[in-house]
Structure 1
Amino acid sequence: MSDPAPRVAVFRPADERIDDAAALLESLGADPVADPMLAVEPTGAVPAAAPYVVLTSKTGVELAAKAGWEPGDATLAAIGPATADAAREAGWTVDIVPDEYTSAGLVEALSGRVDGERVEVARSDHGSDVLVDGLREAGATVNETVLYRLTRPEGAGESAELAAAGDLDAAAFTSSLTVTHFLDAAEERGLREAAVAGLTDAVVGAIGPPTAETAMDHGIDVDVVPEDADFAALAESVVEAVDGGEAGDDTSPNR
């Protein structure tokens, strides 16, 4: 008799991304627990005009495009391939994609270009201070526009209950906010301590170093941080770690 498929919690936004994530995990032989920890609430704002415009998510691109915004002659920077692909699908030219798909990577890619320039950063209300502070340190005048707010969907938290009961094999966190919302959902159920303990016996994956740092700051051990900060790489790494029995193994190279 074959072993049951590993149960993997995934926390993508409550739209097609959670469906796509679940389908990917199924294709990798996992049993996905689709527990959206993010909901998108558009503000109606669009990026302000500036010589440099920085976009940090596919969602932001799609909202700006839907509102009819165009970059014009601006130098357009995208945080990673998914954001860049969405921008190109909107008909825009993407000039800069950092080697490291993080706020720190964007700062590194733009440093040396933006001294004395105006830079528009268009993103969610939970953007990292690393980006804005780093650009200002590089000599830029930075304006930030909030394109959308990220909230926790009502009813989220099935994964916290499973973790607390020891019924979760893995969890794939895709942002610092998914970690925070997972813990908030557990707290509301009176399960925070038990849920964190349950994750100790599971494989915990974080999409990048900032997400991993947030998890560890809240007492969650992180087993997997993929080299590429995208969900496909995270999913593959997490399922591989479950199959390899890496949960709780302090010798894991990503710990």
Structure 2
Amino acid sequence: MSQETRIAVFRPDDERLAEAVDLLESLGADPIADPMLAVEPTGATPREDTDYTVLTSKTGVELAADAGWRPSDSGAVCAIGDRTARALREAGYEVDLIPEEFSSAGLVHALESEVAGSRVEVARSDHGSSVLTDGLNDAGAYVHETVLYRLIRPPESGVSAERAAAGELEGALFTSSLTVEHFLAAAAERGLREEAITGLSTAVVGAIGGPTRETAERAGVDVDVVPDAASFEELACDVVERAAPSYRG
């Protein structure tokens, strides 16, 4: 594959971005790293007097652990996804439940038959989906949400919007609705929103799931790829394959 297969990636500027760049390079693509998310801790700590505690991200686990959070002795700890579960175990916590489907809806489905009358703590970012809290409430749980951190757009973000506007992207990897919104905000800040959307129309645009796809399409961004699993690796592989069909691994 030519190194001119330029794929924009928007992951936070930590090991997630480094891993994404390594993966894209291993696939023969040319990563355009443009972090669209940065973490701003709130200083809050998850409640400890609950029957269930839900953690939705590695970042949330790390912040809770740094604050000295300890779950109730009789409470269950739930993780959305293997990455969050791994972070919990590395921090010394036991993991009682990981849903088969790594999503808010998947966790609701896993818990809805057993949480009626229970106290459920949801500890996450300020951009968590209402699907989780509404679904648990509808199942009869008493839900409390703690915002552990805010997700903000780094002020230096936007190189990918410039490249898209110039027709210099072959692919883009959107991993959340917020990455879509921040990409478009960075483009608008440069006076390039419509040009960037037009540029993406000639690229292979990937979205990690249905909600992200819906956000993009509502904004006028056509989505070409939604992987079967909500996995960054699968998203990247599918987009690279579509952007450069000669790649066969």
TM-score band, normalised by shorter chain: over 0.9
TM-score by length of 2: 0.95
List aligned pairs for 1:205-220, cutoff 5 A: 205-220=206-221
What's 2:121 paired with?
120
Deviations 1:107-132 (A, max 9, x none): 11111111111100000001111111
CA contact (8 A) 2:2 2:28 kept: no
Long gaps (5+) in structure 1: 246-255
For 1:229, give the aligned amino acid. A
Q: Distance in 2 between matches of 1:124 and 1:32?
A: 27
Q: Please, what TM-score do these two structures have when normalized by structure 1?
A: 0.92
User: 1:85 maps to which residue?
Assistant: 86
* 2:41 aligned with 1:42: yes
- Residues 191-200 or 63-72, more deviating: 63-72
Match of 1:162, SS state, is helix
Q: Report the CA distance between 1:3 and its aligned residue.
A: 3.3
Instruction: State the 1:14 CA deviation.
Output: 2.1
Residue type of the partner of 1:111? E
The question of whether the paired residues in 2 share the 8 Å contact of 1:120 and 1:145 is answered with yes
1:70 Cα deviation (Å)?
2.0
**CA distance in 2 between partners of 1:3 and 1:107 (Å):** 44
Aligned residues: 244
* Percent of aligned pairs with the same amino acid: 65
Consecutive aligned runs of 4 or more in structure 1 exceeding 4 Å deviation: none
* Secondary structure, counterpart of 1:185 in structure 2: helix
Aligned to 2:27: 28
Provide Cα deviations, 1:55-111, integer angstroms capped at 9, x if missing partner. Answer: 111110111112221224321111111111111111211111112111111111111
The alpha-carbon deviation at position 202 of structure 1 amounts to: 0.4
Determine the C-alpha separation between the residues in 2 that align with 1:237 and 1:70: 40
Q: Do 1:196 and 1:220's aligned partners in 2 also have CA atoms closer than 8 Å?
A: yes
Cα distance in 1 between the residues matched to 2:162 and 2:97:
42
C-alpha RMSD over aligned residues: 1.3
Partner of 1:161: 162
Moved more, 26-35 or 221-230: 221-230
Identify the residue that residue 2 of structure 2 maps to in structure 1.
Answer: 3
Stretch moving more, 100-109 or 14-23 = 14-23
2:63 is the alignment partner of 1:63: yes
Deviation by residue 1:194-222 (Cα, 9 ceiling, x = unmatched) = 11111111011111111111111111111
Aligned to 2:137: 136
In structure 2, the residue matched to 1:101 is 102
The residue matched to 2:133 in structure 1 has which SS?
Answer: helix
Which has the higher mean CA deviation after the structures are superposed, 83-92 or 144-153?
A: 83-92
Contact (CA 8 Å) 1:175, 1:211: kept in 2 or not?
A: yes
Gap runs ≥5 in structure 2: none
